Homo-oligomer: A and B are copies of this chain.
Amino acid sequence: MPRIAKYTKTGMAERLTLVFKAYGYEGASLSMLADAVGLSKASLYHHFPGGKVDMAAHVLAHSGARLQRFVLAPLLGKGRGADRIGQSLEGTAHYYDGDMPICLMNSLLLGEGRAHFGARIEGAVAAWTAGLASAMREAGGEEPEAWSHMVIERVQGALVLCRVRGHRWPLESCLENLGQV
């Protein structure tokens, strides 16, 4: 019996995201992806005619929109630079949600994923770094560029440790430390 659509396109992207995060681009099979959205493989191709690359591209676009909303927008908002940085760090905790947060870009950079999405991912990281540096510059901090690189480093490293240890505590601890400066 044909199933009725359970998810909007955004809802599908969220479900597919979980698979790509956990298994990477190559490791995520169409069977897993179809199961994740509750459709057959053939039905997935109706929504994503380009197949797996298409799905990963939509997932990346959805993730980019969330990064913009939760992490980048606060950096470019009103108010004192220090307040904006604090809001962005809080947004970072929301952006990397779940009991064991995983960075999608890290998973998608393995194997063939790098050739498909490397440029987009590099651009997102550059925008994040620039936003942090800009806010810190307005906050009067010294060496804003070096500081922004350090923040990205620590957050990304904390996400690796979240995967190693299997919970989100390393990320929370990292963000708390970064917020105290």
Query: Interface with B: A57-65, A81-89, A148-156, which one?
Result: A148-156
Number of contact residues on A: which range applies?
Answer: 35 or more
Contact with B along A3-23 (1 / 0, CB 8 A): 000000000000000000011
CB of A110 within 8 A of CB of B110, answer yes
Contact with B along A169-181 (1 / 0, CB 8 A): 0100110010000
CA A122 to CA B160, docked complex, whole Å: 11
A130 at the interface (CB under 8 A from B): no
CB of B154 within 8 A of CB of A161, answer no
Closest B residue to A105 by CB, please name it: B164
- Can you list 28 residue pairs at the A/B interface with Cβ under 8 Å? A22-B110, A23-B110, A23-B111, A24-B111, A26-B26, A27-B110, A103-B160, A106-B106, A106-B163, A110-B110, A114-B163, A118-B166, A122-B164, A122-B165, A125-B161, A125-B164, A125-B165, A152-B157, A152-B161, A153-B153, A153-B154, A153-B161, A153-B174, A156-B156, A156-B157, A156-B161, A157-B158, A160-B160
Which A residues between 124 and 154 are near B, CB-CB below 8 angstroms?
A: 125, 146, 149-150, 152-154
A109 at the interface (CB under 8 A from B): yes
Known A-B contacts A110-B27, A111-B27; the reply to A160 vs B157 at CB < 8 A is yes
A68 at the interface (CB under 8 A from B): no
Contact with B along A70-95 (1 / 0, CB 8 A): 00000000000000000000000000
> Could you say which residues of chain B place their CB within 8 Å of the CB of A163?
106, 109, 114
Residue of B122, B125, B158 touching A153 (CB-CB under 8 A): B158
A36 at the interface (CB under 8 A from B): no
